[in-house]
Every structure is written in structure tokens, then in C-alpha cells.
Amino acid sequence: MQQAWPLSELAVRLGGKWREGADPLITGAASLADAGPGDLSFVAGPERLAEAQASAAGAFLVAPGMDFGRPAIEVEKPYEAFARFLALQLPDPDRLYPPGVHATAIIHPEAQVEAASVGPYCVVAAGARVGAGCRLGPHVTIGCDAVLGRDCVLHAQVTVREGCVLGDRVVVHAGTVVGADGFGYLPGPGGQVKIPQVGIVEVQDDVELGAHVTIDRATTGRTVIGAGSKLDNQVHVAHNVRIGRHCALSAQTGIAGSCTLGNGVITGGQVGIADHLTVGDGARIGAQAGVIKDVAAKATMFGYPALDFQESFRITAALRRLPAALARLRALENRGKGPATPAGPEQET
Amino acid sequence: MQQAWPLSELAVRLGGKWREGADPLITGAASLADAGPGDLSFVAGPERLAEAQASAAGAFLVAPGMDFGRPAIEVEKPYEAFARFLALQLPDPDRLYPPGVHATAIIHPEAQVEAASVGPYCVVAAGARVGAGCRLGPHVTIGCDAVLGRDCVLHAQVTVREGCVLGDRVVVHAGTVVGADGFGYLPGPGGQVKIPQVGIVEVQDDVELGAHVTIDRATTGRTVIGAGSKLDNQVHVAHNVRIGRHCALSAQTGIAGSCTLGNGVITGGQVGIADHLTVGDGARIGAQAGVIKDVAAKATMFGYPALDFQESFRITAALRRLPAALARLRALENRGKGPATPAGPEQET
Amino acid sequence: MQQAWPLSELAVRLGGKWREGADPLITGAASLADAGPGDLSFVAGPERLAEAQASAAGAFLVAPGMDFGRPAIEVEKPYEAFARFLALQLPDPDRLYPPGVHATAIIHPEAQVEAASVGPYCVVAAGARVGAGCRLGPHVTIGCDAVLGRDCVLHAQVTVREGCVLGDRVVVHAGTVVGADGFGYLPGPGGQVKIPQVGIVEVQDDVELGAHVTIDRATTGRTVIGAGSKLDNQVHVAHNVRIGRHCALSAQTGIAGSCTLGNGVITGGQVGIADHLTVGDGARIGAQAGVIKDVAAKATMFGYPALDFQESFRITAALRRLPAALARLRALENRGKGPATPAGPEQET
């Protein structure tokens, strides 16, 4: 059932200009290194020219003016056009998640489901609403009074706990849990006493949550994931956190309770942000960094504890000179005490 | 169906003293910053007075003697009373997890289920026992011979593997896996050979496990989570670990194989503890710390590798002075070699 | 139903030599510390002799020549023999995952299932193939066109997304997600634009994936987990990654996009590897290390950022001397300026 497109036709579909000549039949997409004769690949920029020349791809998406004698489509932004080509190859969503409510899905009589597709063994509880065009994979659980907007996709095994709200076009990958209790206890005479978590999670429009993300419900009020934000696999967002719009949090990042992230914040993988901090708009946090203070808008932070990247890089570079520096310090101390000791062969910039 | 309470009535319910005068109707709870006229909030201490005065809350829980002219209930511990108020607002558990065994739940004829609620599509295998008052959300799997005590709550998608034992009042959030195989292999001629993991996991009374926690079964014997301990989302506990009572492990913490944690151990988020270590009673491990040696009782550790917090903080502070110190060191070396070089403008405390 | 073996019989089964004399009945296995009179334990080497003498175990697996007057089986490799004994105690797989396709499993008419066991509420979608001898626990989802080889074991709640391919004898623990979309977006005028992820995941023969592992599908082509590799709980593997054969990745490790790991790579827990890096055959990465450059074959790396272990250890040791070194530096600076200042009592090796 693999589709095939003549290159000239793809040029039209992708909004590019077919460089006339060869018109190979394209059946797939691949990177330069992996492509074969049936594949369309792309040349991100002139620095990839040698790699492109060595590629076995049948054709290339290239910027205007790049010509190395191979079948090509010219487009202003080759990678964006490549992404549009990938979209052509996505499987039919009606095959993945067939239309209609599966006979085994349990929809509570007090729930409202306008969904295009509710998979086998889904459970939609009392008071829940699932908007038009939503697709729910197998074994999805929508808790009491939870609300899904229009055109959401929830893959297998997703859990949305009671009262939580998803906007429109939200995508949630398999296994993710929205609305588990926040981690809040008070010390008591017989151990820790649970603080009831009666708030909810609000996931705004166009958010995508990876697999095995956990977003805890607020103690009161809302934990918020702002519109258009993207959270990678295994990200953890604690209770009362507010994440702005168009953020991108890489895998295994953890945001502790009551943090506020502005818009456009980007984190690398495995970042940790301590509780009750504010991270300004457009801040960037390097992988594995540990943020323990507020971060200014547009700042770039690295390290543990996280510092401004320039200071962090200076420290990291200095660290590699530290062992030799200690020897040099000792030599200096000895210089005044006895026969001169040379500072040693350590290099220094 | 939102409930409403006159403030004077709440004072009785929460064990406080209504400061007579206004008696607003309270319909919700919120933090000082988020509260509106229908909300009860709390003033944790005098340092929050300005914030309280600026709050739109309809009423406040305050310590005796704090009066800023707004409707209030006096209580010794405002936050604890607030937690009791939150408990009043929890949804009816019979609505979330309706009583009885759902018609689609599969209970093996050799299983014993006294549970108050077994949700749709749960699977309880041969030999398993589920105690009175337990509530199981949808899609919960209880493996062969596993045992749940009384009044446990297992949210959707929880898996308890064969033979594992949960005590009474254990709460397990969605997606958590209790009893997967420990990560143990022996080198063999054709690659790693699996060491069968025939032990179990024992989760004692009053433990709460967050969402997507993984606790591996022991190679032999038991992996133990002690009574009253609380594990946040995405915590990993490897095989043969023994965690004491009333510990609190924050999100994404990982405990490697065969560690022993005492009672009352607290970890920040993303902490790692290397295998076969002992952490003493009451020790506290800062977020992202990497523990590679035994930790004494009541110690407070930070850093990677983790050190006593005082040493760790000294090193962290010294690190920020390191780049300038290297320049000063160079200047000192040059001092003896030629024309005097001033030590430079670097500040030092 | 607990089995019991005379020690002499176990010697035959485990390929060892029974040291004639006492022939106790063995009913279980345990570590030296935990063992009781019915247990067989093992003495890994002479350094464990004192612990063995103090053990209450009923019998021991020992290397030839080790004799401390207790019932024993002599074997060349006591721990390997112990592992073989553990295998004798594994529960009957037909009890855990009964043979046959459960009546509630939904097998699409266009799917091919030769499996030995498909558990309750499993969903096998159109075009999927499940090989002979596979065992699927409850609530497993196999997406369209996904392929499982022979004799795989997928525990409860596992999701294999459309098109992904597992080899033979692959073991996947509960909740793991194979084939979620990679985390790829392009900046657009209205926020991030998703790059469709049309590749797959290929999990080769004899791989074991822990609980809550996430392996993302490739943008194009394949994300590959090489034959015999073992991934611990909560490991994250991003799109386009290629992991070689016989690797072992410990819990909570994250591999960012497009990395290539050779054969036999070992990571400690919570390791992070930044995107597009190459890690050579046999490299070892210490726990919590953050790899930001290519790693040579057989290198051993530690730290954040990761460095060769020798350099990393030197720096770690030097760091502990840094606060005192700064004081000594100050003293040296003062030496030339006024009355002599002693270098202070700081020790130095």
C-alpha cells in the first residue's frame, strides 16, 4: 500500500520548483545517509553538499541555486518542505484509530462524547466531555467531569483524572497521566499527613505531551500547561506549576511545585527546576542543569547549580585546569621557602 | 453541585474560632494570590500579612491574634486547618470509583476480592487477594498471588506483579508498576544472561506511590517500602532496596540496587543513590545530588558527588571564584619573573 | 506449592559436586544475610567467607576447595549456579499468562496471531503479527502493522505503536511504550510546527526493556535497539538513536536524538547523552554523567560534563581542596605586600 509520487508532482504538492529533467518515482523519505534510490531527502544548507553528493537518494529538496546534477526540487526552506512530505506519508488516522465508539468502550450515561474515535476498552466517566474529532486509542481513561476539546489525540493507556481540562488539538502520547495528586504532606505526630489535592490540570490548545509524562493536579486552582507548549517523554510537572505558551521541555525534565515558566522557555533533557521559582520568557536551560534561583527572561543557563552560560562555561574550563593549578600553587608556596621550584610544565592560556 | 459553607459553620468543622462579624458563604479554597470572594485562604505566618491584605479571598484562616479587618477563623495551625478544609472538597469517592465489582472486571475464580470497588477492565489473577475497602480504578492488573490489604486505592493502569504485597491504606497513582524484574545479568559467552528475579516487593501500610513509579522485585527476598513512606512521580526503586518508614522521595529520584534507607529519609528531585549504599535515619539529600558513599544519620548532603552540605556549599561558592583565581595565580607566578604584575582587580571576600 | 529439593539432587541439576555428608532439604534461595535454614545461598569468593560462616543458610554454593564445615555444593562459578537455581523457582509461566487467546482480547481480522498467550483486554490492530510462543499480559496494545517475533514476553500495559518491529525473545516490562513520536518541531510563525515522525522502532532479538521505558520512533527510518541489549526502568531513547548489541543502560538514562551507541556500551543510572553523539564500543559512562562530546571506544567517562574518568576523578579530588587553596592563594598574595602571612594550616597531599 506504499504510495508513490513522481518528483514533478511532489514539487507541486510541496510548493517547490521541480528542476526539470529526471522525474524519478518517490516512495519514501530518508536522511542523506540512509536514503536509497526511491527516497527523497533534503539538503539543509551548503555545508551538507558533500554529504548530499555521496547520498544514494533518488532526489533532493534543495535551496534555490544549489545544483549538484541530481534530481531536485527547489524550495526556500528544504527542511520545512521535507516535513510537509513526511506528512504525506503518515498512516491513515482512520486505520490507526477507526471512527466511531468501539463496542467495548464504556461511556457513562452522564458523559458527553462527540469524538470521532473512541478505542477499545476506553472508559469515560460520569460528567466527562470529549469533543468532536477526538481520537482515543485503546485503554484510555477519562475521569469524572474531565473535558477534552476538539480534535485531541490520546494514544493508548492515557489517564486524565477527574476534573482536568484539555483544550483543542491536544496530543497526548501513550501512558501519560494528567492530574495525579500533587506531592504534598504536612508533618503529623504519626507521620506525614496528606494535603488533599483538589485543584485540576489545564492543558491548553495545541499542547503535545510525550509518553509517560506526569502532570500533577494543583492543590487548589490549576496546574497549567500553556497553549502550544511541547513536553517530551517522561517530563514531570508538579502541582501548581504554570507553564507559559510555546515552551519546549526535553525528556526527563522535572519542574517542582509552584514554579512559573514564562512563554517560549526551552529546557534540555533531565533539567531540574526547584520549587517556587520563576523562569522568564524565552529562557533556555541546558541539559541536566539544576535551577535553584529565578531565571531572567532570555537568560541561558547551564550547570549544577545553574549559572549564566558564560560564567558556567568559564568555570567548566577552569575546572580542567584546577588539578595543575593546585600543583602550581604548591610550587609558589615553596618558592619562598627554599631552593626555587619551577612552576612546572602546566600549560595556561 | 458545588458545596457552600457559612464561615461560622466552617469554624466549627475545622476546629477553629470564628471571629464574629461577617459570615460570608465559602464555596472554595485558594492560595492568597488566586483566591476570589467565595474562597477561604490561609495566612501561614506574619510574613504573609501584606499578601493577605492584598488578597481578594472572602475569608482567611489565621493564627490567633492576627487581625487585619477581614472575615477570619482563628486556628493554631492555619495550614493544617486549610488542609482539613480541602478534605471537605474532595469529590465523593463513590462517584470516582463506584462501589462494587464492575461487570467487565475479570476476577479469577481462585482470587479473593473483598474490595469496595473494582473498576472496569481490571484483571485480578489466580491466588490474588484484594482487601475490604480497596478501590481499583480502570485497567488495574493484580498479578497471581499478589495481596492488597484493606482500604488501598489503586488508580487507573496500575500493575502489581505476581506475589507482591501491599499493606493497608496504600495509595498508588496511575500507571505505577510494582514488581517488575530487577535489572540483573551475568556476563555470558553470548551476551548477558538474565538472573531470574524470584523475590517480591513489599509495600507497607500507609505508603503513597506517585504516578509512574517503578519498584522492582527483589532477586530473592523482598524489596521493601516502609510504612508511611511517600514516593513522588517517576521515582525508581531497584531490586533488593529497603526503604524505611516515613521517608519522602521526590520526583524522578532513583535508588539503585540493594540500598538501605533508614527512617525519615528525604530526597529532593532527581536524586541518584548508587547501589549497595546505606543512608541513615533522617538524612536529607538535596535535589539532583549523586550519592556514592554511605550517608550518616541526620546528614544533609548536596552535590555530585554528594558531600556534606556545608562542604558542598563552600565548594560551590569557591567555584565561582575559580576563573579569577587562576588569573591571580598566573599573576603571582609572573611576579617573581619580571616586572611586578598586579594581582588584578578580582574581588575576594 | 513451594518446591523442595534435597541438596544432593540440586547438585546434579546445577552441574556441581555435592560435598557428601548432610543432605538438607532446600526450599528457597537467599543472600547470605537473609538466608534461613531452608535456603541455599552462595559464596561469591573468599572475601565473603566470614559472612558465610555467620549465615543461617542451610547450604551454600561454593568454589572448589572452599570448606567451612557446612553443607555445600562445589561449582566453578557459584553465582552463576545460584542464578540457575533461581530459574528453578520461577513461577509457572502458564499460570502467570495462561495459554491461548483470552476471550476478551481483540484481534483484528487482518492481524496474525500465533501467540501462546494473549491476555485479557489486549488489542492487536490491523496488519499486526504476533509470533509463536509470545506471551502478552493484560491490556497490551499492538498497533497496526507492528510485528513481534517468536517467544516475546510483553507484560501488562505495554504499548507497541504502529509499524514497530520486535525480534525474537524480546522481553518488555509493564507500561513501556515503543514507538511514540519523536520530539521534533520546526519554528513557525504561530509556534512550533510538528515534524511528522514516520519512521519506526526496531527492537532486535533478546533485548529486555524495563518498566516505563520510552523508545521513540524515528523521523524516517529506524530507531534501533541492538540484539541482546538491556534497558532498565524509565530509560528514554529518543528518535533516530541507534544502540548497538549487548549494551546495558541503567535506570533513568536518557539518550537524545540521533545518537549512535556501539556494542557493549554500559551506562550507570540517570546518565544523559546529548543529541547526535557517537559512543564507541565498550564505553562505560558513570552514573549521572552528562555526555556532551563523542566518546571513544572503551573509554570510561564520569562527571558533568563527562570527562575521562581519570581526569574526572582528579578534578573531583581537587575540588575538595579548592576552598583551602583560595585561602592559600590569598596568603601568597599578601606575602609580598606586607608582613609575612603563613600559608595556613590547610593540608595538601
- Please write the tens of the pLDDT for every residue from C202-252: 999 999 999 999 999 999 999 999 999 999 999 999 999 999 999 999 999
- How would residue C58 be classed by pLDDT, with cut points 50, 70 and 90? very high
DSSP A254-299: EE-TT-EE-TT-EE-TT-EE-TT-EE-TT-EE-TT-EE-S-B-TT-
What average pLDDT does range A108-123 have in this prediction?
96
What residues does each domain of chain A span? 5-90, 98-308
- How would residue C336 be classed by pLDDT, with cut points 50, 70 and 90? low
The residues, any chain, with a CB within 8 Å of residue B69's CB and separated by 6 or more, are none
What average pLDDT does range B81-92 have in this prediction?
96
Closest to A199 measured CA to CA, from A260, A243, A240, A143: A240
Of C155, C173, C239, C246, the active-site residue reads: C239
* pLDDT digits 0-9 by tens, A247-257: 999 999 999 99
What average pLDDT does range B23-38 have in this prediction?
96
- How would residue B110 be classed by pLDDT, with cut points 50, 70 and 90? very high
Summary mean pLDDT of chain C: 94
Bridge partners, A171 (sequence order): A153, A208
- Whether B339 shows a pLDDT value over 90: the answer reads no
**C-alpha to C-alpha distance for C75 and C17, rounded to whole angstroms:** 7
Measured between beta carbons, the chain C residues lying within 8 angstroms of A104 are 106
* pLDDT digits 0-9 by tens, C3-47: 899 999 999 999 999 998 899 999 999 999 999 999 999 999 999
pLDDT at B333: 93
Distance from CA of C189 to the nearest CA of B (A): 32
Is some CB atom of chain C closer than 8 A to the CB atom of A336?
yes
Distance from CA of A331 to the nearest CA of C (A): 11
In A271-310, the residues whose Cβ lies within 8 Å of chain B are 272, 274, 290, 292, 304-305, 307
Closest to A269 measured CA to CA, from B212, C235, B237: C235
Closest to A1 measured CA to CA, from A91, A88, A82: A91
**C-alpha to C-alpha distance for A52 and A33, rounded to whole angstroms:** 8
DSSP C280-315: -TT-EE-TT-EE-S-B-TT-EEETTTTEEHHHHHHH
Mutate to test the interface with A, among C136, C173, C214, C310 (most CBs of A within 10 A): C214
Cβ–Cβ of B238/C245 closer than 8 Å? no
Distance from CA of A229 to the nearest CA of B (A): 21
* pLDDT digits 0-9 by tens, A175-198: 999 999 999 999 888 889 999 999
CB atoms within 10 A of CB C276: 13
What the block records as the C-alpha cell of A177 is 497521566
pLDDT at B115: 83
Cβ–Cβ of C328/A323 closer than 8 Å? no
The residues, any chain, with a CB within 8 Å of residue A18's CB and separated by 6 or more, are A7, A8, A10, A11, A12, A73
Closest to A46 measured CA to CA, from A29, A57, A60, A30: A60
Q: Is C8 left (phi over 0), alpha (psi -120 to 50) or beta?
A: alpha
Measured between beta carbons, the chain B residues lying within 8 angstroms of C320 are 307, 311, 315
**C-alpha to C-alpha distance for A294 and A313, rounded to whole angstroms:** 19
Summary mean pLDDT of chain B: 94
Which architecture characterizes domain B97-308 according to CATH? Answer: 3 Solenoid (2.160)
pLDDT at C116: 86
- Whether A347 shows a pLDDT value over 50: the answer reads no
Q: How many CB pairs under 8 A join B and C?
A: 183
Bridge partners, C17 (sequence order): C74
Measured between beta carbons, the chain C residues lying within 8 angstroms of A326 are 318, 321, 325, 348
Q: How far is CA C340 from CA C199, C220, C222, in A?
A: 71, 70, 69
What average pLDDT does range B183-212 have in this prediction?
95
What average pLDDT does range A118-122 have in this prediction?
98
Measured between beta carbons, the chain A residues lying within 8 angstroms of C195 are 83, 86
pLDDT at B336: 65
* pLDDT digits 0-9 by tens, C280-318: 999 999 999 999 999 999 999 999 999 999 999 999 999
Distance from CA of C225 to the nearest CA of B (A): 15
Cβ–Cβ of C269/B252 closer than 8 Å? no
- Whether C339 shows a pLDDT value over 70: the answer reads no
Mutate to test the interface with B, among A192, A219, A326 (most CBs of B within 10 A): A192
Summary mean pLDDT of chain A: 94
Measured between beta carbons, the chain B residues lying within 8 angstroms of C117 are none
Distance from CA of A24 to the nearest CA of B (A): 45
- How would residue A345 be classed by pLDDT, with cut points 50, 70 and 90? very low
Chain B: residue nearest C31 by CA? Answer: B220
Asked whether the beta carbons of C177 and A173 are under 8 A apart, the reply is yes
Q: How far is CA A196 from CA A121, A184, A199, C206, in A?
A: 30, 8, 9, 45
DSSP C157-203: T-EE-TT-EE-SS-EE-TT-EEEEPP--EEEETTEEEE-----EEEE
What average pLDDT does range B209-238 have in this prediction?
98
* pLDDT digits 0-9 by tens, C96-123: 999 999 999 999 999 999 988 999 999 9
φ/ψ of residue A39, rounded to 5? -100, 145
Q: How far is CA C316 from the centre of its chain?
A: 27
Which residues of B are the active-site residues? Answer: 239
Closest to A304 measured CA to CA, from C313, B255, B305: B305
- Whether A336 shows a pLDDT value over 70: the answer reads no
Mutate to test the interface with B, among C234, C267, C332 (most CBs of B within 10 A): C234
Measured between beta carbons, the chain C residues lying within 8 angstroms of B186 are 79-80, 83
Chains that touch C (3 or more CB pairs under 8 A): A, B
pLDDT at C340: 43
Distance from CA of A322 to the nearest CA of C (A): 7
Q: Is B121 left (phi over 0), alpha (psi -120 to 50) or beta?
A: left
pLDDT at C21: 86
Chain A: residue nearest B83 by CA? Answer: A195
**C-alpha to C-alpha distance for A174 and C94, rounded to whole angstroms:** 28
In A78-117, the residues whose Cβ lies within 8 Å of chain C are 79-80, 83, 86-87, 89-91, 95-96, 104
CB atoms within 10 A of CB B205: 17
Cβ–Cβ of B238/C228 closer than 8 Å? no
3-state secondary structure of B53: helix
Chain B: residue nearest A126 by CA? Answer: B95
Measured between beta carbons, the chain B residues lying within 8 angstroms of C319 are 315, 319
Chains that touch A (3 or more CB pairs under 8 A): B, C
Q: What is the CATH number of domain A98-308?
A: 2.160.10.10
Chain B: residue nearest C320 by CA? Answer: B315
Q: How far is CA B195 from CA B184, C36, C216, in A?
A: 5, 21, 28
Task: Indicate the pTM of the whole model.
Answer: 0.95
- Whether A111 shows a pLDDT value over 50: the answer reads yes
Q: How far is CA A229 from CA A217, A225, B108, in A?
A: 18, 7, 44
Closest to B208 measured CA to CA, from B180, B223, B227: B227
- Whether B338 shows a pLDDT value over 60: the answer reads no
Distance from CA of B230 to the nearest CA of A (A): 8
* Candidate from C55-64, C97-106, C328-337 with smallest mean pLDDT: C328-337
- The verdict on domain A5-90 having CATH code 3.50.50.60 is no
Measured between beta carbons, the chain C residues lying within 8 angstroms of B304 are 288, 303-304
Q: Is A334 left (phi over 0), alpha (psi -120 to 50) or beta?
A: alpha
- How would residue A318 be classed by pLDDT, with cut points 50, 70 and 90? very high
The amino acid that residue B78 corresponds to is: P
* pLDDT digits 0-9 by tens, A238-283: 999 999 999 999 999 999 999 999 999 999 999 999 999 999 999 9
